[in-house]
Amino acid sequence: MATQTQSSTVKSKEELIEKFSKPEVISGSEILLRSLLLEGVDCVFGYPGGAVLYIYDAMHDNPDFNHLLTRHEQGAIHAADGYARASGKVGVCIATSGPGATNLVTGIATAYMDSVPLVVITGNVFSTLIGTDAFQEADITGITMPITKHSYLVRKVEDLPRIIHEAFHIANTGRKGPVLIDIPKDVSAAKTLFQPVTEVNIRGYNPTINPNKLQVDKMIKAIAEAKKPLILAGGGVVYSGAHEELLEFVTKTQIPITTTLLGLGGFPSGNDLWLGMPGMHGTYTANNAIQSADLLINIGARFDDRVTGKLSGFAPHAKIVHIDIDPAEIGKNVPTDIPIVGDVKSVLAMANKLAVRADNADDWRASIQESKAKHPFKYIDSDTELKPQWVVQMIHETTNGDAIVTTDVGQHQMWAAQYYPFNKPRSWVTSGGLGTMGFGFPSAIGAQMANPDRVVVSINGDGGMQMCAQELAICAINNIPVKVVILNNQVLGMVRQWQELIHENRFSHIDLAGSPDFVKLAEAYGVRGFRASNKDEARTAWEEALRHPGPAVVEFVVRRDENVYPMVAQGSTIDQMIMGDAE
């Protein structure tokens, strides 16, 4: 496989330090590449243009530097995002000035909303032209100020080594997020003496990692007193690598747990105490447990509106504990009784030394198990039509639940979250906060580059797939074996569902029946394509796609008017669920 060959040529950090240890006068572009290599970057996604020509020239015949040329800047940044989510490392992308940089904005916002560590490198016009409306000039640091954790406009080539090292530190510490480095063309061309930077000293930046023990003691006391305790775990568990500590905490306390959309995989779905996902399309049991709990322990989640529903009616009986590395999130949406600021991994490590079984909650645990048995996710299957829920279940069965699954946004995203249970962290890659269509497929490319030996499945709708379908080219050229699933209902499914249920069947501008033949589209790019419209065809096509050593696209023609249930309408509390005909 091409990705394995590429990654095997990357030298170790020790080899690179030895190679670059001798001070040498080189260009800003060469400083950039060397600094990225010293940060452990093994793949950069990008698209060249005039303002980054010196940078791309430095890549020429550079055996140490692995760059993947995407077909659109949005594909590059979503791929870098998927790489970061699936690996735990910082994702990196490069684009030119002006339209190249502005094409990254949606991807930067996607990463910012979901706390994903990225270093985004853009070129800019010559320093002397900044502010003159020069050709392909855009104030990208100004444009992205609300959606980056930090940004740099590099004025002097001598600052580049420090800036790059700081950018990686900022992106991947504290509450993680995207950092932008804007490099004018003259800075990338200028030469100076290069010496690697290994230390970081950023005035005023000192995230709180270790919690206040008194606050952790208060949480442990609250657990001992609670009769209906519940844990709400979010993406912070995955990002901090705290899945083992969380499992130990739940095992010791025996507190039932629900995981948010971005928290899926942070706790094993096969555990009896796991209730599934809460919120707008969450499980009956998880939502009712939140509404009945007398203690709710939020671990690394931000009380997103899709989880809370109507805020004034959320968890009305619960004392709230909120553990988060970002103090700004605590108390922002839901009043907090016991705030604990710190890295989730560190907080749970401290809590596990004190944690004991929640002895007053036996009746609570019994009632939750009864609810789980009575109210699993349900749908009405069909022998004549292909149901999307069945397709996702079949994918789970044939991959043994071990695949990395990426999704776009919409109904298919919710069906994947509901019917593909995860037992490992960093196996679920999806756009949560921003809800970005076009994210699913290119993020799978990044996830595959980070994990060349794992099966990566990208589940998409027919709408979102067309937003970044051009990246099929790089899968074919580089033999990146992503398995692309398209649940084709010929409609903007989630919009149609809302128009049916909320807007009294007034369907407006949702028909996608004029979409391309996805099999022919895949074949046009040199990718194997398959189509299925019934269960027998679906199993045959999917199993053949899995056996195929390269990339493959499988189009599943599914029922047009299938809905995602349960559903909580906006303005309702999360126990006011529309259950659907199956329930």
> Residue 161 is part of a domain; what is its CATH number?
3.40.50.970
Same domain, 180 and 54: yes
**61 and 185 fall within a common domain:** yes
User: 308-346, pLDDT tens digit by residue?
Assistant: 999 999 999 999 999 999 999 999 999 999 999 999 999
pLDDT given for residue 128 in this prediction? 96
Q: Are residues 130 and 100 in the same domain?
A: yes
The pLDDT mean for the chain works out to 96
Contact 207, 342 (CB under 8 A): no
**For residue range 442-465, what is the model confidence (pLDDT) as tens digits?**
999 999 999 999 999 999 999 999
For CA atoms 68, 72, 77, 81, the dihedral sign is negative
Q: Pick the last residue of a domain from 127, 159, 194.
A: 194
Instruction: Name the band, by pLDDT with cuts 50, 70 and 90, for residue 12.
Output: confident
Residue ranges making up the domain that contains 65: 17-194
Do 336 and 484 have their domain in common?
Answer: no
The answer on 463 and 369 residing in a single domain is: no
162 and 294 fall within a common domain? no
The C-alpha angle 490, 492, 497, rounded to 5 degrees, equals 110
* pLDDT at residue 4 in the model: 38
Q: Is residue 6 scored above 70 in pLDDT?
A: no
Residue 582, domain member (yes or no)? no
| Options 185, 228, 387, 535, the catalytic residue | 185
Shared domain check, 409 and 321: no
Q: Is residue 50 part of a domain?
A: yes
How many Å apart are CA 318 and CA 308, to the nearest integer?
13
* Radius of gyration of the chain, Cα coordinates, nearest whole angstrom: 24
Number of H helices, E strands in the chain: 24, 19
What percentage of the chain exceeds 90 in pLDDT?
A: 94
With a CB cutoff of 8 Å and minimum separation 6, the contacts of 78 are 107, 110, 436, 438, 439, 442, 443, 446, 468
The pLDDT of residue 23: 86
Give tens-digit pLDDT for 367-409.
999 999 999 999 999 999 999 999 999 999 999 999 999 999 9
Lowest mean pLDDT segment, chosen from 14-23, 147-156, 249-258, 466-475: 14-23
Q: Is 135 a catalytic residue?
A: yes
Assigned domain for 415 exists: yes
- Number of domains present in the structure of the chain: 3
Contact 438, 410 (CB under 8 A): no
- Report whether 243 contacts 425 (CB < 8 A): yes
Looking at residue 9, its pLDDT comes to 54
CA distance 415 to 281: 9
Q: Is the pLDDT of residue 3 over 60?
A: no
Tell me, yes or no, whether 7 lies in a domain: no
What's the distance, CA 460 to chain centroid?
15
Cβ atoms of 219 and 338 closer than 8 Å: yes
CA distance 91 to 80: 5
DSSP-derived secondary structure for 366-433: HHHHHHHHH--------SSS--HHHHHHHHHHHTTT-SEEEE-SSHHHHHHHHHS---STT-EE---S
Angle between helices 13-20 and 28-38 (to 10 degrees): 150
The 3-state DSSP class for residue 539 equals helix
Confidence of residue 581 (pLDDT cuts 50, 70, 90): confident
Name every residue whose Cβ is closer than 8 Å to that of residue 531 and which is 6 or more positions away in sequence.
518, 519, 537, 541, 554, 555, 556, 557
Q: Are residues 455 and 536 in the same domain?
A: yes
| CA–CA dist 293, 316 (Å, integer) | 8
Structure tokens of 514? 């004029």
Spatial neighbors of 6 by CB under 8 A, at least 6 apart, are 43, 66, 478
458 and 340 housed in the same domain: no
Structure confidence by residue, pLDDT tens digits, 16-36: 877 887 889 999 999 999 999
Reported as a single tens digit per residue, the pLDDT across 87-105 is 999 999 999 999 999 999 9
Q: Which helix (H) or strand (E) holds 13?
A: helix 13-20
Q: With respect to residue 580, please indicate whether it lies within any of the assigned structural domains.
A: no
Give the C-alpha separation, 359 to 340, whole Å.
Answer: 23
- The candidate with the shortest Cα–Cα distance to 230, out of 140, 294, 179, is 294
How far is 513 from 165, CA to CA, in rounded Å?
49
Name the token pair of 578. Answer: 């529309």
Return d(Cα 486, Cα 532) in angstroms, integer.
10
Q: What is the pLDDT of residue 21?
A: 75
pLDDT per position as a tens digit, 531-558: 999 999 999 999 999 999 999 999 999 9
Residue owning tokens 């796609």? 545
Mind listing the pLDDT tens digit for each residue in 155-179?
Answer: 999 999 999 999 999 999 999 999 9
Q: 219 with 270, same domain?
A: yes
Tell me: do 163 and 286 sit in the same domain. Answer: no
> Is 319 one of the catalytic residues?
no
Q: Is the pLDDT of residue 272 over 80?
A: yes
DSSP label of 516: -
State yes or no: cis peptide before 566, omega within 30 of 0.
yes
User: Same structural domain for residues 38 and 133?
Assistant: yes
The residue written with tokens 């044939």 in the block is 398
Q: 340, 375, 410: which is the final residue of a domain? A: 375
Q: pLDDT grade, residue 10 (50/70/90)?
A: low
Q: Which of 219, 437, 494, 577 is catalytic?
A: 494
Q: Of 11, 24, 126, 136, which residue is the catalytic one?
A: 136
- The string of pLDDT tens digits covering residues 75-87 is 999 999 999 999 9
Whether residue 121 contacts residue 89, with contact meaning beta carbons closer than 8 Å, is answered with: no
Residues listed for the chain? 583
DSSP codes joined into one string, 186-219: HHHH-EEEE--------TT-----SPPHHHHHHH
- Specify if 203 maps to a domain: no
Taken in order 2, 81, 431, 75, the sign of the CA dihedral is negative
Active-site residue identified among 30, 39, 73, 562: 73
The yes-or-no answer on residue 494 being catalytic is yes
d(C-alpha 495, C-alpha 507), whole Å = 9
Q: Do the beta carbons of residue 218 and residue 297 sit within 8 Å?
A: no
Active-site residue (options: 13, 15, 19, 135):
135
Query: Is residue 9 one of the residues assigned to a domain?
Result: no
Answer yes or no: is 574 within a domain: no
